[in-house]
Structure 1
Amino acid sequence: MSVWLTRIIPNPRSPEVRRDLAGRNTAMNLHRRLMSLYPSDAGPDPRARFGVLFRIDDTHTGPHILLQSTHQPDLTRLPEGYGTHQSRPLDALLDALKPGLSIRYRCAASPVRKPGATTRALYNLPAVVPLTGAHADEWWTRQADAAGLKALTLHSRPLDAAQATRQPDQSGSPQRIHHARTRFDGSATITDPDLLRQKITEGIGRGKAYGCGLLTIAPARTTT
C-alpha cells in the first residue's frame, strides 16, 4: 500500500478557493472538496477507506493545503484555476524509518480529555474536554510516545477550531461539530518505526475528517 502526499497551492483569485477557505465552515468545505478527488463508490466511510487526512499550512506565500491518502487523488477533478498541485508517494521516506533516526515533525491535532462518568457528574463536565497550553503539550507527548517517537523539542500554538454542520441521515436536527485544534512542531527521535508508519497513515486524535490529525515528518537538519 502506497501513501501519497499532495500539496495544493490555492489560487486566491479562484471563486471556489475563496468559498472553500472563507468563513467558519472551512473545515467542512475542504473535506467535501478533497473527498471529491476520490472514487464515490467507497462504502459508508470513504475517508477511512482511502486514508484521507489534510491540514492547512500558513506560509509566507499564503495558505497551502496538504493532503495525504492511501489512494492517489484525481487532481483533474479540481475546478479549473483552483491552484497548482503536486503529488508524490511517501514510500521511500516511510521505508527509510529506523530506530534512533532524528526527525522534525508537525501535527495539527485536537487534544482532548475524556473524563469518567463520576468526574463528569461531580464537576458538570462534558464528555470531551478540549485541552490547551501545558495540558495540550502533555497530551501531545503521550501521543508521540504512542506513535513511536521520543519528543526532543516541542513548540505548540493554538489554531482556530475546526467547525462543521453534519446533516443527519434521517429527519432530525443538524449536528454541530467543533474540534479545538493545536499545532505541534518540534524534533524527535524514532523509537518504533512500525508504530510511526501506522500513526502517519492513520492520523492522530479526533476530527480527522475536518483537518486534524495529519502527522508529517522530515529528516532533521544537520549542521557542520
Structure 2
Amino acid sequence: MNPDAHLARIQLNPHSRDVQRDLRDAAQMHKTLMRMLPDNLGPTPRHDTGLLYRLDETEQTSTLLVQAAVPLNTQHLPDNYGHSDHKSLAPLFRALRPGRTVRYRITLNPAKRERLPHDQKTKNGRIVPLTGPEADQWWTRRAAQAGLTLHTLLPTPQRPAQRTPTVKGAPTMRHHLMRYDGTATITDPTALTTALLTGIGRGKSYGAGLLSLAPANTP
C-alpha cells in the first residue's frame, strides 16, 4: 500500500481574535487544530492520526501547514480563521528516490536530557534546549536517521511556543523552536517516509517536527 497524508495550508486572518489567541498560546493552537480531525478517534487522536503543524511567518503573512493521515476538515475551524487549500502528499511519497536532491524546511525543538548529580527532584533528568552549533549538530544527526544527508542548513530562531499554565501561579511553559532550511540528498526513502508521516523530535503538539520537501530545482 502506498503511503499518503493530507496537507492543509491555512493563511491566517490577522484580525481574527481566535488567531490572535492561538498565536499567543500553543496549547490553544493545538486545541483549535484538533477540531479538524474526525470525531471518536479514541484517547490519543493526535498520535494516531499523525497530526503535525508548522507556523511559517513573514513580515506580511502567517501561514499554518497542518498534516495528518486523515482528511482535515477546515470547516470546523473558527469563523474567519483564514483561507485554506488542501492537497494529498501521495505524489511526494512516490517521488522519494535514493540519490535525489531536495530542498527541505522544518521547525524543530532541539533538546537533550540532562541530569545534574545533585539534582534529586528530576529523576529522569531535565530537558535542556540546544542552540548554536549544538542544535545544528543535533539536526544533522536526526536528519541522517531520517534518511537525509544534509548539504546546507540555515537556522532561523522562531518565536517560542508558549503554553499558559492551567494552575494559578505556575510558570508559563516555553518550548524553544528553531527552523531549518536547506538542501539534502535522500539516502533512505523508507526512513524518510516514516519521518514525514510521524514528525521529528519533541514538541509535535506545539508546532515542531513537520518536515516539508520539494525538488531542489523548484523556486
When normalised by structure 2's length, the TM-score is 0.89
Q: What do residues 127-157 of structure 1 show as CA deviations (whole Å, max 9, x unaligned)?
A: 2111000000000000110000000001102
Partner of residue 84, structure 1: 83
Contact persistence 1:148–1:195 (CA under 8 A): yes
List aligned pairs for 1:47-126, cutoff 5 A: 47-115=46-114, 117=115, 120-121=116-117
Coordinate RMSD, CA, aligned: 2.4
Q: Equivalents in 2 of 1:161, 1:187: separation in Å?
A: 25
List aligned pairs for 1:1-224, cutoff 5 A: 1-21=3-23, 23=24, 25=25, 27-115=26-114, 117=115, 120-121=116-117, 127-165=126-164, 177-221=173-217
Percent of aligned pairs with the same residue?
A: 41
Runs (4+) off by over 4 Å: 122-126, 165-168, 172-176
When normalised by structure 1's length, the TM-score is 0.87
**CA apart distance, 1:2:** 2.4
**CA apart distance, 1:162:** 1.4
3-state DSSP of counterpart to 1:183: strand
**CA apart distance, 1:60:** 4.9
Q: Equivalents in 1 of 2:210, 2:147: separation in Å?
A: 15
Q: What do residues 77-118 of structure 1 show as CA deviations (whole Å, max 9, x unaligned)?
A: 122222110110000111110000000011100001123x5x
Cα separation, partners in 2 of 1:173 and 1:36, compared to 1, 3 Å: farther
Contact persistence 2:4–2:93 (CA under 8 A): no
Q: Equivalents in 1 of 2:11, 2:103: separation in Å?
A: 22
- Residue 96 of structure 1 aligns to which amino acid in structure 2? A
Q: What do residues 179-204 of structure 1 show as CA deviations (whole Å, max 9, x unaligned)?
A: 21111110000000110010011101
In the alignment, structure 1 segments of 5+ residues that lack a partner are none
**CA apart distance, 1:40:** 3.2
Q: Equivalents in 2 of 1:159, 1:33: separation in Å?
A: 21
**How many positions carry a matched residue from both structures?**
214
3-state DSSP of counterpart to 2:38: coil
3-state DSSP of counterpart to 2:158: strand
3-state DSSP of counterpart to 1:121: coil
In the alignment, structure 2 segments of 5+ residues that lack a partner are none
- Residue 15 of structure 2 aligns to which amino acid in structure 1? R
Q: Equivalents in 2 of 1:66, 1:178: separation in Å?
A: 21
- Residue 13 of structure 1 aligns to which amino acid in structure 2? H
Q: What do residues 1-21 of structure 1 show as CA deviations (whole Å, max 9, x unaligned)?
A: 520111001122222222222
Cα separation, partners in 2 of 1:68 and 1:222, compared to 1, 3 Å: closer
Q: Equivalents in 1 of 2:39, 2:77: separation in Å?
A: 15
- Residue 86 of structure 1 aligns to which amino acid in structure 2? D
Contact persistence 2:36–2:77 (CA under 8 A): yes
3-state DSSP of counterpart to 2:20: helix
Greater mean alpha carbon deviation, residues 6-15 or residues 98-107: 6-15
